[in-house]
């Protein structure tokens, strides 16, 4: 809703309500009943046996007896009220606003799927399922209040100055974060921009409260496939950061160019624990569950606040277009990121120091892989009726410092994950060629993803011996056809 207060002032009021709900029914085998059946105690009367050597001897009633499912309901909702006042004052464009936000999260697992933990996160009761892990019930809510302002003004038709600030207050913390940005147009082609700011980021409801248990792989002396639980941490602090950006822009008739250097210094950055890193740090730690024989049963991870994180990089964006006579218009674009630094604390011999994680697989820390360079290249031709586009995607190689066994070496594994280059082709109708279809406009397209059917680079990461799931796509060549009808 917009209310005009005067010729230069207005009030905007908005209310947003969103809700998401999932009902899961995931078939599985009831673990305790299956074990009873193996011992000849299966079935309603406790007198049936599961014959692992001859499945033809297993009665249907016993199969039905061991059948189960992970049953859960997850519901999240969010209500937001925004009020913004827009006006002008002493040559400045002014915006003042306030926001109220309320989050609710409800998670329910049935008795068969419910998991119980002690205060250290060790399993007291696991889901009575053979493969699926279940989770714990959650009922949580929170609210947030915010006040913010922004002032902007143009000087000498070449300098754009913006000042902004935001105060946020919620159940476990508050923060005021200012920002100043400046853009200077050197001439009609070249501009320089710079900004400094502080930011404040609340943990999400999932990071604070939710839970999920999965069957995952870790490297240990006993079992490699175990229950891995990820629990929310209600004691998380908000993440704060100091941000710096310096940029150069060139905007000509046929080409655009931007080069930005950026730095982010975090405090209390929210990170998910790694099950493997917890095992490496202390194989018998409080979050590690073992049976009486010392065999690994489960690992419980949560979210934590990283004390300090220093990140820096360079972003490049270059585009160029020109006509090519009867074939249409040709355009090319290059978008790339060079990650210079991603440093987190490393404790060695009781001494903490900052370790740059760029260019590493980072199996031994609560991190993921960080390739140094990513580059995307786009070629396009806009014809009369269709647009043809060829995309090239490049991901840099990076180190894997995990020790490789002799057997692994014979299979071609090495302490490096190779670079990855794939090409895609897409064809879609132009904006001027949209056939009429049921009184609407039909848009359509066809794509070949990974034309050369490139395989994901090998990664030595026992026990999977596979590929890096956080970086590479193993699916090979794919075809897609899409239609979009606008009525």
Strands 123-125 and 116-117 turn out to be antiparallel
- Residue 372: the pLDDT is 97
**What is the structure's pLDDT at 110?**
93
d(CA 86, CA 353): 47
DSSP reduced 3-state for 357: coil
Alpha helices in 171-299 (DSSP H): 205-209, 275-281
Instruction: Give me the pLDDT at residue 432, please.
Output: 65
Contact between 218 and 275 under an 8 Å Cβ cutoff? The reply is yes
Percentage helix, strand, coil for the chain under 3-state DSSP, each rounded to 5:
10, 60, 35
Tell me the mean pLDDT per 10 residues along the chain, length 487: 89 95 94 92 90 87 93 95 93 93 93 85 83 88 93 91 92 86 94 95 86 76 73 88 97 93 95 84 84 82 91 97 81 97 85 91 85 96 87 96 85 91 92 69 90 93 76 93 82
Burial 190-203 (b: 16+ CB within 10 A, else e): ebebebebbbbbbb
Half-sphere exposure of residue 70: CA atoms within 13 angstroms, side-chain side: 23
Asked if 109 and 69 touch (Cβ cutoff 8 Å), the reply is no
d(CA 128, CA 114): 8
**pLDDT attached to residue 324:** 78
pTM value surpassing 0.75: yes
Length of the chain in terms of residues written:
487
Taking the C-alpha atoms of residue 436 and residue 433, their distance in angstroms, rounded to an integer, is 10
Task: Show me where the domains of the chain are located.
Answer: 324-487
């Amino acid at each position: 809703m917009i209310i005009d207060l005067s010729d230069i002032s207005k009030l905007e009021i908005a209310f947003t309500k969103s809700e998401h709900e999932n009902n899961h029914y995931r078939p599985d085998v009831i673990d305790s009943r299956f074990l009873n059946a193996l011992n000849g105690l299966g079935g309603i009367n406790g007198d049936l046996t599961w014959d692992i050597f001859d499945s033809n001897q297993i009665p249907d009633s016993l199969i039905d007896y061991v059948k189960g499912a992970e049953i859960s309901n997850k519901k999240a909702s969010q209500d937001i009220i925004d009020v913004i006042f827009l006006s002008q004052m002493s040559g400045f464009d002014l915006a003042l606003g306030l926001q109220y936000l309320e989050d609710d999260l409800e998670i329910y697992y049935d008795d068969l799927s419910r998991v119980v933990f002690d205060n250290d996160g060790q399993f007291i009761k696991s889901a009575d399922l053979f493969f699926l892990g279940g989770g714990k019930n959650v009922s949580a809510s929170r609210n947030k209040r915010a006040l913010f302002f922004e002032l902007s003004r143009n000087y000498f038709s070449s300098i754009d100055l913006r000042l902004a600030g935001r105060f946020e207050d919620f159940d476990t913390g508050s923060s005021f974060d200012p920002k100043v940005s400046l853009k200077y147009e050197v001439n009609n082609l070249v501009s320089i921009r710079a900004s400094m700011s502080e930011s404040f980021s609340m943990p999400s409801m999932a990071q604070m409260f939710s839970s999920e248990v999965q069957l995952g792989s870790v490297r240990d002396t006993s079992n490699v496939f175990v229950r891995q639980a990820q629990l929310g941490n209600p004691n998380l602090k908000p993440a704060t950061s100091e941000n710096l950006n310096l940029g150069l822009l060139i905007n000509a008739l046929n080409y655009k160019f931007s080069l930005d250097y950026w730095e982010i210094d975090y405090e209390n950055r929210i990170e998910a624990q790694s099950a493997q890193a917890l095992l490496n740090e202390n194989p018998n730690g409080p979050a590690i569950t073992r049976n009486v024989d010392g065999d690994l049963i489960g690992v419980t991870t949560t979210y934590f606040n990283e004390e300090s994180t220093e990140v820096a990089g360079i972003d490049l964006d270059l585009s160029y277009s020109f006509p090519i006579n009867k074939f249409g218009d040709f355009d090319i674009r290059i978008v790339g990121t060079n990650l210079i630094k991603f440093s987190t604390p490393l404790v060695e011999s009781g001494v903490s120091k900052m370790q740059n994680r760029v260019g590493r697989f980072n199996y031994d820390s609560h991190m993921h892989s960080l390739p140094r360079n990513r580059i995307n290249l786009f070629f396009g031709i806009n014809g009369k009726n269709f647009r043809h586009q060829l995309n090239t995607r490049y991901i840099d190689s990076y180190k894997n410092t995990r020790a490789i066994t002799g057997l692994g070496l014979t299979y071609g594994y090495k302490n490096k994950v190779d670079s990855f280059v794939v090409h895609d082709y897409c064809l879609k109708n132009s904006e001027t060629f949209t056939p009429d279809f049921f009184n609407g406009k039909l848009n359509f397209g066809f794509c070949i993803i990974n034309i050369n059917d490139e395989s994901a680079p090998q990664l030595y990461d026992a026990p999977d011996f596979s590929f890096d799931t956080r970086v590479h796509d193993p699916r090979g060549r794919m075809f897609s056809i899409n239609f979009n009808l606008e009525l």
